[in-house]
Amino acid sequence: MRRTDKNASEYNFQEKFVAELQKYKWTAPESLNGNKQKVTVDDLVAHWRGELNRINADQLEGVSLTDNEFKQVMSRVNQLENSYEASKLLAMEASKGKIDGIHRDSLPGVTREQITLTIFKKAEVSGGDSSYKIAREVESAQGNRFDLILLINGLPLINIEQKRSDQTLDAAFRQFRRYYQDGEYTHNFLAFSQMMVMTSEVVTRYFATPKTVHDFNDSFVFHWADSDNTPVNHWEDIIRQFLRIPMAHQMVGDYLVIDEALDPENRRHMLMRSYQVHALQAVETAAFGWGTADKIPHGGFVWHTTGSGKTITSFKTALFLSTRGGFDKVVFLVDRRELDRRTSDNFKAYAAYEPVTVDDTQHTYQLKKIMKSPNRGIVVTTTYKLSNLVDDLEDNQDDSLKDKKIIFIIDEAHRTTMGRMMGTIKAHFREKGLFFGYTGTPLYQENKAKGMFDKNSEVIDTTEKLFGPELHKYTIDEAISDGNVLGFHVDYINTGEFKSYEDLKEAIIEDEKQAFPDKSDKVIERLVYSWDDLEVEKQASKRKLLEYHDETHIPRVVEEIIENWESQSQQRKFNAILTVAYKKRVLAYFEEFKKQLADHDTPFNVAMTFSFGGDEDPEPVDPKVVEDMFKNYAAFTGIEFIAGDKKQGPDAYFEDLITRATRGGSGRNPKNIDLVIVADQLLTGYDAQLLNTLYVDRSLELHGLVQAYSRTNRVHGPDKEFGSIINFQYPKMTEEKVDTALKLYGTGGTSSKAIVEPYETAVEQLNIKMEKIKSIMSDPTTWQEIQNDTETKETFLLHFKDAAEQMQLVEQYYQFKWDNDTFGFDEKTWLNYIGAYRNLRTQEGGDSELPPIPTSLPGKTKLVRTQVIDASHILELMGEQATASNGKQTVDAETLRIVYQQIEELSNLGDYEKAQLLKEFVEAELRPGHVSTEIRFDEAFENWKNGKKRTVIYELSKEWGINSQIFEKSVEAYSNQNPEDIPYIVDLTRTLDFSSATNPMGQNRLEHNMKLTNELPKVIPKIKGKYD
Model confidence over 456-481: pLDDT tens digits? 445 566 888 888 899 999 988 888 88
- Domain that includes residue 630, residue range: 550-756
> What's the pLDDT score for residue 820?
82
CB 841 within 8 A of CB 797: yes
Q: What percent of the chain has pLDDT over 70?
A: 87
| Same domain flag for 263 and 397 | no
> What's the pLDDT score for residue 70?
96
Instruction: Tell me the CA distances in angstroms from 192 to 80, 286, 672, 837, one per residue in order.
Output: 8, 35, 36, 40
Which amino acid, 689? Answer: Q
Q: For residue 495, name the pLDDT band (cuts at 50, 70, 90).
A: very high
> What's the pLDDT score for residue 867?
39
> What's the pLDDT score for residue 672?
96
- Least confident range from 81-85, 447-451, 498-502, 808-812: namely 447-451
401, 391, 446: which is closest to 424 by C-alpha? 391
Residue 768 has pLDDT above 90, yes or no: no
| Same domain flag for 62 and 190 | yes
| Same domain flag for 380 and 297 | yes
Q: What are phi and psi of 741, to 5 degrees?
A: -65, -40
Among the three residues 522, 542, 562, which one is the final residue of a domain in this structure?
542
**Rounded-to-integer distance, Cα 626 and Cα 647, Å:** 15
CATH no. for residue 135? 3.90.1570.50
**Rounded-to-integer distance, Cα 245 and Cα 158, Å:** 13
DSSP 93: B
Among the three residues 734, 756, 778, which one is the final residue of a domain in this structure?
756
Helix (H) or strand (E) holding 790: helix 790-811
| Same domain flag for 569 and 711 | yes
Strands 452-453 and 434-439: unpaired
Which amino acid, 499? Answer: K
Q: For residue 314, name the pLDDT band (cuts at 50, 70, 90).
A: confident
Query: For the segment 184-201, what is each residue's pLDDT rounded down to a tens digit?
Result: 999 999 999 999 999 998
Q: Residue 402 domain-assigned?
A: yes
β-sheet bridge partners, residue 118: 98
Q: For residue 362, name the pLDDT band (cuts at 50, 70, 90).
A: confident
Q: Residue 486 domain-assigned?
A: no
Number of helical (H) and strand (E) elements in the chain, helices listed first: 36, 30
Give the mean pLDDT of the chain: 84
CA quadruple 524, 530, 536, 538: dihedral sign = negative
122, 171, 119: which is closest to 147 by C-alpha? 171
- Least confident range from 67-81, 317-331, 846-860: namely 846-860
CB 189 within 8 A of CB 204: no
**Rounded-to-integer distance, Cα 609 and Cα 651, Å:** 11
> What's the pLDDT score for residue 7?
67
Q: Residue 221 domain-assigned?
A: yes
Q: For residue 383, name the pLDDT band (cuts at 50, 70, 90).
A: confident
DSSP 251: H
CB 863 within 8 A of CB 869: yes
Longest distance between any two alpha carbons in the chain, whole Å: 115
Which amino acid, 472? Answer: H
Helix (H, G, I), strand (E, B) or coil at 257: strand
CATH no. for residue 782? 1.20.58.910
> What's the pLDDT score for residue 516?
92
For 143-255, where are the alpha helices, taking DSSP H only? 170-181, 235-238, 247-251
| Higher per-residue confidence, 930 vs 114 | 114
| Same domain flag for 96 and 78 | yes
> What's the pLDDT score for residue 277?
96
Q: What are phi and psi of 438, to 5 degrees?
A: -115, 120
> What's the pLDDT score for residue 142?
87
| Same domain flag for 517 and 537 | yes
Q: Residue 156 domain-assigned?
A: yes
- Least confident range from 532-541, 804-813, 946-955, 985-994: namely 804-813
Helix (H) or strand (E) holding 21: helix 8-21
**Rounded-to-integer distance, Cα 386 and Cα 944, Å:** 74
| Same domain flag for 907 and 1020 | yes
CB 406 within 8 A of CB 437: no
**pLDDT, mean of residues 757-768:** 83
**Rounded-to-integer distance, Cα 180 and Cα 191, Å:** 10
Which amino acid, 192? Answer: F
Instruction: Tell me the CA distances in angstroms from 510 to 463, 525, 661, one per residue in order.
Output: 47, 9, 49
| Same domain flag for 778 and 881 | no
CATH no. for residue 565? 3.40.50.300
> What's the pLDDT score for residue 382?
82
837, 827, 826: which is closest to 801 by C-alpha? 837
| Same domain flag for 427 and 328 | yes
Residue 898 has pLDDT above 90, yes or no: no
Cβ neighbours of 980 (radius 10 Å) = 10
Residue 616 has pLDDT above 50, yes or no: no
Query: For the segment 729-747, what is each residue's pLDDT rounded down to a tens digit?
Result: 999 999 999 888 877 787 5
489, 478, 492, 490: which is closest to 306 by C-alpha? 478
**Rounded-to-integer distance, Cα 208 and Cα 983, Å:** 26
| Same domain flag for 810 and 904 | no
**Rounded-to-integer distance, Cα 228 and Cα 266, Å:** 32
Strand positions, DSSP E, 944-987: none
Q: For residue 854, name the pLDDT band (cuts at 50, 70, 90).
A: very low
Query: For the segment 259-297, what is each residue's pLDDT rounded down to a tens digit?
Result: 888 778 888 899 999 999 999 999 999 999 987 788 899
Which amino acid, 519? Answer: K
Residues 6+ apart with CB under 8 A from 535: none
N-terminal to C-terminal alpha carbon distance within the chain: 25
Q: Residue 81 domain-assigned?
A: yes
824, 839, 851: which is closest to 793 by C-alpha? 839
Cβ neighbours of 617 (radius 10 Å) = 15
Residue 552 has pLDDT above 80, yes or no: yes
| Per-position DSSP letters for 920-942, written without gaps between them | HHIIIIITTT-EETTS-HHHHHH
> What's the pLDDT score for residue 868?
43
CB 476 within 8 A of CB 742: yes
Query: For the segment 393-417, what is each residue's pLDDT rounded down to a tens digit?
Result: 999 999 889 888 999 998 764 545 5
Residues 236-269: b if buried by 16+ CB within 10 A, e if exposed: eebbeebbbbbbbbbbbbbbbbbbbeeeeeebbb
997, 1013, 1004, 1012: which is closest to 957 by C-alpha? 997
> What's the pLDDT score for residue 855?
31
Helix (H) or strand (E) holding 823: helix 820-823
> What's the pLDDT score for residue 151?
97
| Same domain flag for 996 and 882 | yes
Q: Residue 857 domain-assigned?
A: no
Among the three residues 542, 577, 598, which one is the final residue of a domain in this structure?
542
Residues 6+ apart with CB under 8 A from 520: none
Q: For residue 6, name the pLDDT band (cuts at 50, 70, 90).
A: low
| Higher per-residue confidence, 419 vs 654 | 654
Q: What percent of the chain has pLDDT over 90?
A: 41
Q: What are phi and psi of 242, to 5 degrees?
A: -115, -45
Q: For residue 450, name the pLDDT band (cuts at 50, 70, 90).
A: low
pTM listed for this prediction: 0.70
Q: For residue 631, name the pLDDT band (cuts at 50, 70, 90).
A: very high
264, 387, 378: which is closest to 335 by C-alpha? 387
Q: Residue 367 domain-assigned?
A: yes
Q: For residue 1, name the pLDDT band (cuts at 50, 70, 90).
A: very low
| Same domain flag for 174 and 191 | yes
Q: What are phi and psi of 314, to 5 degrees?
A: -70, -35
Strands 883-885 and 888-890: antiparallel
> What's the pLDDT score for residue 908?
67
Residue 869 has pLDDT above 80, yes or no: no
Domain count, the chain: 6
**Rounded-to-integer distance, Cα 723 and Cα 727, Å:** 13
Helix (H, G, I), strand (E, B) or coil at 906: helix
Query: For the segment 671-683, what is each residue's pLDDT rounded down to a tens digit?
Result: 999 999 999 888 8
**Rounded-to-integer distance, Cα 523 and Cα 114, Å:** 98
> What's the pLDDT score for residue 248?
95
| Higher per-residue confidence, 526 vs 795 | 526
| Higher per-residue confidence, 848 vs 523 | 523
Helix (H) or strand (E) holding 584: helix 583-597
Q: Residue 854 domain-assigned?
A: no
Taken as a whole, the chain contains a residue count of: 1028
